[in-house]
Each structure stands twice: as C-alpha cells, then as structure tokens.
A and B are shown apart, each in its own frame.
Chain A
Amino acid sequence: MTTAVRFENYSWRYSRTKEQALKEINLEIEEGLLVGVIGPNGSGKTTLAYSMNGLIPNQYNGIRKGSVKIYDEEVTEMDQAQLCQQVGLVFSDPEAQFTAMTVEDEVVFGMENMGLTYQEIEERLDWVVPLTDIEELMEKPPYEVSGGQKQRVALASVLSMRPPVLMLDEPTSMLDPIGRRRIFDVLGRLKREYQSTIIIVEHSLENLIPLADLMVLVYEGEVLLVDETEPFFQKLDYLMEHHIYPPGVLEFFHHLKKSGDYPEASALPESVGEGEKQLRRLLENKA
C-alpha cells in the first residue's frame, strides 16, 4: 500500500516559544485510511496538521528539522498550488474560516483559485453540495448560517478541490451536538464514497471511534501510540494516564474487563448499541 503521509524525524519549534512543539516525530499513514489524532490541548496536534499542508513553515516562523512527505514529495519543495491540491485543511473555527459573503462564493473559492473552468466547477458542485448537505444554503450570507452549517460549507469548499489527503483540525469543537453529529455523518459518507486519506484531530471520541481505522496519540510533542482503533483502546489505562478520557460505554466495559467480568480477548464495545448487546449477553447468561 502507498504511504500518503510520512513524517521522518520531524521537529518544529515556533520562534516565539522555548518549548519544542513537535519532537522527532516518526509517523506513516497509508492512503485510504481514516485516522484519528487525539491528545490534550497544546500537545502539538494542530502543529502536526499545519505541517502537512505547508502552513508550517510557510506562514509561521520557527525551526524545522526532518521531513514531511505527502506521497513521497517533501512539503517544503512543493509550491502553494501543489500543496493545497494535495492536502485540504478544515479549521476548527467556523466563523474565521468563512471569508466570502455567500455560501456559494465560499464553496467555489478554492476551485476558482485552481483555475477550473465554469463547467468543471459546476460538475464538482453537483457532487460536493449534496454530499455535505448544503443545497438550501447556497444563496445565504454568513450571518444567516449557523456554526454547524458553516463547517459543512468549509468541508465542501475544501473537498471541491479533491485533495487526496483531507485534514480536519478539531472540526466540531465549537459546534453544538447536532452540528457535531451532522459533520460526522458527512465524514461517514465521505469515507464510503471518496477514496482518500482522511485525518481528523478530535476530542469527541464518541463520534470518532466508530469511524477511525487508525488512531494516533500525540502527547507533549511526541507521538506516543499509533495503532488500529481496537487495539489502541485496549490500552485504556495508558491512555487515561495521558489524559485521554474514553466514552462512557468503553470505560464501563474496561472496568468489567479489569474485574474479570468481561472476557479479556473480546473487543470493547464502541457504541451504545454494541454495549447493549454485550450487556444483555453477559446478564442473560447468568440466568
């Protein structure tokens, strides 16, 4: 399988701080996976994201060491045009991302920058607009659009450029639960319909876990743990030591595992539905 993203001994320190933001990161992400990146605030997740699409080092001052490669091409050797067509980035603040005066203008912005023709833009809109569910919003100005809707617009705007690597930096942290749910619905659909590598930095594990193929733990500038989702969360104690708080269902079954009530070999349920199934099995067996 091809490696979409590769960090090799990558370090970054912002010029205004004394601490290293990222320390000798080594990370390989195969194409086609949906990857969850988690860790406490300030651990370097955003720096990691920005390093992938060139915002670091192009927009920020600091000291860079090592390499970041997208499909084997070094980020610092790609110009802005190539970078934004290779890696799309959705930011966490819905307000500060929306720079145009209508939704349509916003979605079309990236495509116009790429120099696509009118027909090509139309075609891509036909794909991206229903996917992100923003048909009714197209004529609206930003102040008539909610935060959750703005994030879907941002997603549409980035997706329309069809980057093979899509990054989302805490896309739902400023949204209410409905907005959050809808973003994850779109991401789920995206995973099925769009063959690309999707990397999501998130705090909302509840929504992330069912979707993620691979999980990465970033802590104090280092990548401490990388694994497929199931084995990743088997190490719950380790995660909790590093301030990762699992969703309720997961934590519950983890306790049961520790006390021997739940088989060691079995996977921890990742949703309420699965949890219910397992719980019934456990309790009905006793009778």
Chain B
Amino acid sequence: MQKMNKTILGYVPEESPLYRIHPFVRLLFLMVVSLFPMFISSPEWNFGIILLVLAILVYSRVNLKTLRVYIPLSISMGVLILLTHTVLGGRHPEFFVAFRIFDFPFYYERIVAAVDVYARILPMIFVMVLFLSTSRERDILVAFRWARIPFVVTYLGAMALRSVGMVIEDFSIVRQAEKARGFDPQGKSIRYKMRQFVMYIIPLFALALRRSDEFANAIVARGYSFTGLKGVDRADYILHQYEFRTRDAVLSGIIFLSLIAVLVARYGFGYLSLDDSLTVQLLESLLKGGAQ
C-alpha cells in the first residue's frame, strides 16, 4: 500500500518517479493536455487520454484508493449531462427518435451530443486530478516561479494556499463549536442548513480578518512591501533546488509536439472528428440500426 501524504488539495504519494520531473513540465502537461479534448471530437480518443492518465497515475505510485472521491463526481456529472441533453432538451421533430421512455422521446442526435460533451470534460478532470495527486504545494509554486510569473503573484498564490489551509482548520473547529451549542443539522430543513452556511462564514471571516493583520505585520517586519525593496533582485532561492534537466526539456518538447500533432490531425487532415469516430458508429448501430 503506497503511503500518501496529505496536501491542501488532495493526496500525493510519498515517493514517486514523477518527482524527478521538473514541476514546470508537470504544469505544462496539465495546461496543454487538458486542452486536447477541445480539439479532439472523437470520444474514443478522448477516453484514450483518460487511459493515458490512469497509466501515469499508476506509474507515479499514486494510491488509487484516494481517488475514490472523484467517482461520485464523475458519475453524477455524466448523468447530469445526459439529462440536460435529453430530458431537458425539449422536443425536436427534426431529430431521430432512438427510443421512448414513458412516451418521452430520446433523440439519437442528443445522445451523441451528450456522449461528445462527456468525453471531453472527463479527460480534463482526470488530467487535473493527475496534477493535484502528484504535486505538493511547493511544486506548484516552483512551476509558476520558473515560468517567470511575477513574484508578487506567486507569493500571493502561496499565501492564498496557506490561508486556505488555515481556513479549513478553522472550519472544522467552528463546526465543533456550533455543535457544542446544540446545533444539530441532522433531519432539519434546507432553510436550516442554509443558515448553517452563514454560521460558518462569519466566524471564518472574523478569524481571517484578524489574522490578515498579523500576516501583514509578519511580512512587513521582514522587509517586504509588495513593491519589493528598492531595486532589489530576488535570488529566488527555492528555484535553485530544482534543476531543469535535458530530460525535462525533451519532455516539454514532446508535450508541445503532441499538441501540434493534434492540431494538424484535426484541422489539417480532418481526423479525430466526431462523425467518423468509432463511438458514433457504435451508437448508430445500437440506436438507429434497423430503423428507417
């Protein structure tokens, strides 16, 4: 059982071959590959991305059990997409009726559209999950700094992450404090539960406000005034801990090239389209076959 460490955003493996890859490359992978589904219309190719991500997850020694939380999300999203496209999609006499449920028509075109959308969104989620499951907060910050994003932005990002962590801790204590005063949300109405929301927000805000004062003092006392001290070049010490090797350059190159390949295949040769895809052919034979 691979040991996983908790981060603010999820769980990451204690050790992983992926850590040897520079964080910037991993960020690049996230940003580029999550764009692929925008250009790839063919559902089986998009599902292929999911398989690729799963393979990388296993290779990275991510304990797949920690990803169980994403299953309900994926399923409910699929159901939601299907419903909005079909049941809530209204009646369209120009479409082909694949079948009826309680006399409500389910159109073939709509089903295809739903599959299309789902097949694009799911890989994006998976790529994001891959990133979150293999990056500690530090990696994310290093990736940004390496990409020459201004220090202020990354520092604010770091502070935001830090604050989120503290808010999460505060939140659990606030919840306990409310319970200790007899607040029992079980079996109560929606309105009651919405009141709950207010109850949490106010103390969290108050705590954050008081804390921000102290944060500001702590930063100022060490010489930072958000425009930096006059004419000071930051050494960016942390970056020195991470070496951008040839391997990383090669990987970055591969990622870019694959993007270009996708674009060329799609717009140059017309591959990866929806109508020619195997999935659509399958759906056609299932839902349309024999009709007409």
Residues of A within 8 A of B (CB): 50, 53, 55, 58-59, 80-81, 84-85, 88-89, 91, 93, 95-102, 104-105, 108-118, 121, 139, 141-143, 154, 157-158, 161
Task: Determine the residue in chain A with the shortest Cβ distance to B165.
Answer: A143
Bound-state CA distance A80–B222 (Å) is 9
Residues of chain B lying within 8 A (CB to CB) of residue A102: 137-138, 238
Bound-state CA distance A53–B217 (Å) is 11
Segment touching A, from B23-31, B155-163, B274-282: B155-163
Number of residue pairs A-B, CB distance < 8 angstroms: 116
Residues of chain A lying within 8 A (CB to CB) of residue B221: 53, 55, 84, 88-89, 91, 158
Min distance, Cβ B84 to any Cβ of chain A, angstroms: 39
B137 near A141 with CB under 8 A, answer: yes
Query: Contacts A55-B221, A59-B220, A102-B138 hold; do A97 and B228 have CB atoms under 8 A apart?
Result: no
Indicate if B237 sits at the interface (CB-CB under 8 A).
yes
Bound-state CA distance A59–B215 (Å) is 12
Indicate if B166 sits at the interface (CB-CB under 8 A).
yes
Task: Determine the residue in chain B with the shortest Cβ distance to A121.
Answer: B237
Q: 3 smallest A-B Cβ distances: which pairs?
A: A96-B214, A115-B232, A110-B222
Task: Determine the residue in chain B with the shortest Cβ distance to A81.
Answer: B229
Query: Contacts A108-B238, A112-B234, A114-B229 hold; do A157 and B222 have CB atoms under 8 A apart?
Result: yes
Task: Determine the residue in chain B with the shortest Cβ distance to A115.
Answer: B232
A115 near B229 with CB under 8 A, answer: yes
A96 near B218 with CB under 8 A, answer: yes
B214 near A91 with CB under 8 A, answer: yes
Given contact pairs A84-B220, A109-B224, A111-B237, enumerate 4 new A-B contacts (beta carbons under 8 Å).
A59-B217, A85-B223, A99-B159, A143-B8
Residues of B in contact (CB 8 Å), total 40
Residues of chain B lying within 8 A (CB to CB) of residue A58: 220
Bound-state CA distance A11–B8 (Å) is 45
Residues of chain A lying within 8 A (CB to CB) of residue B215: 96-97, 99
Residues of chain B lying within 8 A (CB to CB) of residue A59: 216-217, 220
Indicate if B258 sits at the interface (CB-CB under 8 A).
no
Min distance, Cβ A104 to any Cβ of chain B, angstroms: 7
Q: Mark B203-236, 1 if CB is under 8 A from A, else 0.
A: 0000000010011111111111100111111111
Some 8 contacts from A to B, beta carbons below 8 A apart, are A101-B138, A111-B237, A113-B224, A113-B228, A115-B231, A116-B235, A142-B165, A154-B218
Indicate if B272 sits at the interface (CB-CB under 8 A).
no
A113 near B136 with CB under 8 A, answer: no
Bound-state CA distance A268–B162 (Å) is 47
Query: Contacts A114-B232, A142-B165 hold; do A97 and B218 have CB atoms under 8 A apart?
Result: yes
Indicate if B7 sits at the interface (CB-CB under 8 A).
yes
Q: Mark B21-44, 1 if CB is under 8 A from A, else 0.
A: 000000000000000000000000
- Contact among A55, A85, A95, A114 for B220, CB-based, below 8 A: A55
Query: Contacts A99-B159, A99-B218 hold; do A84 and B223 have CB atoms under 8 A apart?
Result: yes
Bound-state CA distance A5–B238 (Å) is 35
Bound-state CA distance A81–B220 (Å) is 9
A99 near B162 with CB under 8 A, answer: yes
Query: Contacts A99-B159, A100-B158, A115-B233 hold; do A158 and B220 have CB atoms under 8 A apart?
Result: no
Task: Determine the residue in chain A with the shortest Cβ distance to B224.
Answer: A113
Residues of chain A lying within 8 A (CB to CB) of residue B165: 141-143
Residues of B within 8 A of A (CB): 6-8, 136-138, 141, 158-159, 161-162, 165-166, 169, 211, 214-225, 228-238, 240-241
B220 near A121 with CB under 8 A, answer: no
B238 near A105 with CB under 8 A, answer: yes
Among A55, A85, A100, the most chain B Cβ lie within 10 Å of the Cβ of: A100
Min distance, Cβ B155 to any Cβ of chain A, angstroms: 8
- Contact among B158, B228, B240 for A105, CB-based, below 8 A: B158
Bound-state CA distance A1–B169 (Å) is 49
Among A99, A104, A117, the most chain B Cβ lie within 10 Å of the Cβ of: A99
Query: Contacts A81-B223, A141-B136, A157-B222 hold; do A100 and B237 have CB atoms under 8 A apart?
Result: no
A91 near B217 with CB under 8 A, answer: yes
Min distance, Cβ B60 to any Cβ of chain A, angstroms: 19
Residues of chain A lying within 8 A (CB to CB) of residue B225: 80
Among B159, B218, B231, the most chain A Cβ lie within 10 Å of the Cβ of: B218
A114 near B223 with CB under 8 A, answer: yes
Min distance, Cβ B150 to any Cβ of chain A, angstroms: 14
Min distance, Cβ B140 to any Cβ of chain A, angstroms: 9
Task: Determine the residue in chain A with the shortest Cβ distance to B7.
Answer: A141
Task: Determine the residue in chain A with the shortest Cβ distance to B163.
Answer: A99
Bound-state CA distance A115–B233 (Å) is 5
Query: Contacts A105-B238, A114-B232 hold; do A98 and B220 have CB atoms under 8 A apart?
Result: no
Task: Determine the residue in chain A with the shortest Cβ distance to B219.
Answer: A99
B217 near A121 with CB under 8 A, answer: no
Min distance, Cβ A231 to any Cβ of chain B, angstroms: 33
Bound-state CA distance A97–B215 (Å) is 6
Residues of chain A lying within 8 A (CB to CB) of residue B159: 99
Bound-state CA distance A5–B228 (Å) is 27
Bound-state CA distance A238–B58 (Å) is 70
- Contact among B6, B138, B158 for A99, CB-based, below 8 A: B158
A93 near B214 with CB under 8 A, answer: yes
A109 near B214 with CB under 8 A, answer: no
A113 near B237 with CB under 8 A, answer: no
